[in-house]
Amino acid sequence: MADGAQSFAEVAPRAPVEQNPLAALGRAMRGNWIKASAVGAALGSALAVLGFVAGVELYSSQAILRVYPQEANILYRTGDDSVLKTFDSFVKAETSYVASHPVMERAAQSLRAQFPELTADMSAADLGGSIEIKRNDSLIVLNTKSRDAAFAPAKLEAIVTAYLDMKAETEAKRSAVRLSELQEREAELTARQTEIRQRTLAVGGEFGIDSLTKAHVEKVAQIDALSARRSEIEATLTSLRAAAGTSSADMSDEEILRATLLDRALADLNFDRAKRSAELATLITRYAPETAQIRDKQQEIAVIDRAMSERREQIKVLGQTGALTDTSSADPQASVDEIAALLDKVTAQLEVARTEARDLNRKRAELASLQEEAEDTRALLDDTRKALEIIRLEAGRALPGYSVVMSPPSRSPDPAEDSSKLNAVAGLAGGLMLALVLTLARGLASSRLRWSDALTRWTHLVPVLRVLRASTIDPKGADLLRNALQLHPLRAPLIPGAARVIVVTRLDSGSADQMALALAQSFARANVRTLLIDADLRPDGLTCSLDMANGQGWREVLRGQKGQPIAFPPFASLSILPAGIDTTVDAGSIGVAAIRDALAAIGAGSEVVILNAGSLRDDPAAELLISVADLALADIRAKDRTSAIAARIAQLDLLPRQGGVVAFTGAQAGDPGLMP
């Protein structure tokens, strides 16, 4: 079947294949499992021996502290109980205190004296790191391990002793500080109380606040009486001064009024009434209105009122009978002067009474303030003494609980842990894992292509047509590759009557001679008129291997000369055009136009023209050859550099009319692209 009979179907561009990172790991380890296992076995055995030799025997010890509550039975309470929560928080705090740096530092100092060799470089942090401290309800459990059988319990003993000692010292300091503060406050309040008493004596003298209150009330009553008498005297004096030329009847009334004001007995009764009225006011504030004391005092005031009324009647009768008129008519001015003198006397008495009342009120207020201050000081002093008594009686019970040693540090004659076997197993596993990691890292870091599925990252550009086991293609592999090329979809229709140009090239260093020759022979076996052109101008290329180096060929055709292909028996339909002998034609002197003209001249009469283009990496002309071809075939081999492939594989897709394809050769056993 002629190659030109292939139908055309437009091919949609393919999307890039999504890369699976796990697939890359699988490729890195493919074929290396046996090697990795062997290296892992050797390395693991060595590490297992080292681990077994380096293993140590560890002795363990355990101590248990129990925290008891001060209040009985709180551990059996349920529900939201603040006392139980407080105790639980206290246990947590005690657990943290056991693991604190001060406790570890004191324990480390004690251990340095007992075990100087084992603790030469041990710090408090090192000691704390070697102790496991756990809390279980009200228990504080301490665990440790050591290579020395005696050192393990000694560590726990030192920590427990340091914890209990520091706890007792802290409690003593706290109690001492509280006692000292309260004792200072007690002394201060006692001194203040003494000072208040001295000030009270200085202010009140021989009188207390009750006596001063009573005296002040009496003085106020006296002031009221004097004020009333003064008002009467002022009114009388005003009347006498305005009474010049009045009748005898008027004079009689004035004399009666004057006698009333000047009467000593009436003045005494008036003062006595004011005094008893003040006492009544005091009793009303203390007793109920129906009590006997208030009734008696009201009766006394009523008796005084009747006596005063009778005395006024007596003076009025004397005035009406003229007994008073004779004494005053002789000299009216003398009566006015006498009344004025009485007014001055009463005014002076009133001022003195007011001054004394103010002084009594001041002392009473000051004594009341001192009494209130004394009561406050007494209350503070009682509270302070009560707090002192509580601290003295309840020393050690200020916290919600207290700690005791429930189980002393245990001593075990046998080691609790032997790390030799564990280290051996860890060494073996570590060796196997290290070998696996190294093999995986080597596979991932390799710059060489090992498996055909590593090309999947570029299959959206250039598909992989065939994966072949041998690096030298056998006839069967060449036929499979030929069929794949004939069935490969076209991007554009073929030119009728023109030969199909296929370029065979390499992306890395090396030549594609063997693949080009095997492919040409395969087309010839299919009775396709095939022309193989050795366009690789290296002196040791295909032409040299076929012993055709002495005849004209591709170089001369590029110069415009007529070339004559050489028949290649036993294939009647296969001709070969060697590289030629014109040394002036090299990669730098070849152009695209010359290549097209040469192909048009030499390819007439052929159905397939196969160009051996050499390497894209080494031969600059290979890129020009690909650009004029219908299809580019890259010979990619195992152990080719992935960097070279990645740098040039896009040219296979862009330059040829029908794109490019890849044939992977030299595949290893187990390659996923190999056909069964």
Give the span between the Cα atoms of 335 and 240, in whole angstroms: 8
| 24-65: pLDDT as tens digits | 666 666 767 788 788 888 888 888 888 777 777 788 888 998
pTM reported for the whole predicted model: 0.48
Domain count of the chain? 2
In a domain, 343, yes or no: yes
Cis amide prior to 570 (ω within 30 degrees)? yes
The answer to whether residues 481 and 577 belong to one domain is yes
Q: Is 205 left (phi over 0), alpha (psi -120 to 50) or beta?
A: left
Q: What is the mean pLDDT of the chain?
A: 80
* Residue type at 171 in one-letter notation: E
Q: Write down the pLDDT at residue 1.
A: 40
Domain of residue 573: give its range.
Answer: 3-12+460-665
pLDDT value at position 2?
42
DSSP letters, 479-509, are HHHHHHHHHSPPSSPPPTTSPEEEEEEESSS
- The answer to whether residues 357 and 490 belong to one domain is no
Count CB neighbours of 3 within 10 A. 20
Q: What residue has token string 């041990």?
A: 122
Distance CA 596, CA 593 (A): 5
Residue 203 lies in a domain: no
SS3 content of the chain, % helix, strand, coil (to 5): 60, 15, 30
- In the three-class reduction of DSSP (H, G, I as helix; E, B as strand; rest coil), residue 58 is classed as strand
Task: Say yes or no: 586 and 479 in one domain.
Answer: yes
Confirm whether 67 is domain-assigned.
no
Residue 234 maps to a domain: yes
Give yes or no: residues 373 and 482 share one domain.
Answer: no
Tokens 């110069």 label which residue? 559
487 and 625 part of one domain: yes
Residue ending a domain, choose from 391, 417, 446? 391
Residues 357 and 492 grouped into a single domain: no
Strand bridging mode 571-577 / 500-506: unpaired
pLDDT for residue 177 is more than 80: no
Instruction: Indicate if 376 and 482 belong to the same structural domain.
Output: no
Report the pLDDT value the prediction gives residue 316, as an integer from 0 to 100.
Answer: 67
514 and 642 inside one domain: yes
227 and 323 belong to one structural domain: yes
Report yes or no on 289 lying in a domain: yes
Classify 212 as helix, strand or coil: helix
The Cα-based distances of 496 to 2, 3, 606, 653, 659 in angstroms read 12, 11, 12, 23, 19
> In whole angstroms, what is the distance from residue 550 CA to residue 579 CA?
10
Residue 146 bridge partners (DSSP): 59
Residues 341 and 335: their CA atoms lie apart, in Å, by 10
pLDDT one-digit tens code per residue, 99-154: 889 999 988 888 888 888 888 888 888 888 888 898 888 899 999 888 888 888 88
330, pLDDT greater than 50? no
Distance CA 654, CA 238 (A): 143
Contacts of 581 (CB under 8 A, 6+ apart): 549, 550, 551, 552, 553, 555, 556
**What tokens does 91 get?**
């246990």
- The H-or-E segment that residue 286 falls in is helix 264-286
When pLDDT is cut at 50, 70 and 90, the band that residue 520 belongs to is very high
CA–CA gap between residue 549 and residue 542 (Å, rounded): 9
Q: For residue 617, is pLDDT > 90?
A: no
153 within 8 A of 78, measured Cβ to Cβ: no
Contacts 24+ apart (CB under 8 A), 237-240: 237/336, 237/339, 237/340, 237/343, 240/332, 240/335, 240/336, 240/339
The answer to the question of residue 374 being in a domain is yes
Q: What is the CATH number of the domain that holds 633?
A: 3.40.50.300
> What span, in angstroms and rounded, lies between the C-alpha atoms of 349 and 355?
10
Tokens representing 606 are: 């052929």
- Identify the helix (H) or strand (E) that includes residue 299: helix 292-321
Count CB neighbours of 457 within 10 A: 17
Is 481 among the domain residues?
yes
Average pLDDT over residues 631-639: 89
User: What is the reported pLDDT for 121?
Assistant: 82
Assigned token pair, 25 = 């790991």
Q: Are strands 57-69 and 401-407 parallel, antiparallel or unpaired?
A: antiparallel
> Residue 423: inside a domain, yes or no?
no
Torsion over CA of 16, 18, 22 and 28, rounded to 10 degrees? 0
Instruction: Please check the confidence at residue 155 and state whether its pLDDT lies above 80.
Output: yes
Question: Domain end: 360, 376, 391, which one?
Answer: 391
Last residue of a domain, which of 391, 418, 441? 391
Q: Are residues 383 and 489 in the same domain?
A: no
pLDDT at 399 over 90: no
Same domain, 387 and 464: no
pLDDT tens sequence across 247-299: 444 445 555 555 655 566 677 777 788 778 878 887 887 888 888 888 888 88
User: At residue 220, does pLDDT exceed 50?
Assistant: yes
DSSP conformation letters of 267-285: HHHHHHHHHHHHHHHHHHH
Determine the straight-line distance between the first and last CA of the chain, rounded to whole angstroms. Answer: 28
- Tally the residues of the chain: 676
- According to DSSP, residue 61 is labeled E
478 shares a domain with 604:
yes
Q: Are 1 and 500 in contact (CB under 8 A)?
A: no
505: confidence class by pLDDT, cuts 50, 70, 90: very high
At 666 the pLDDT is: 83
pLDDT per residue as tens digits for the range 404-441? 888 888 887 777 777 777 888 888 888 888 888 887 77
Question: Other CB atoms closer than 10 Å to residue 531's CB: what's the count?
Answer: 25
Whether pLDDT at 477 is above 80:
yes
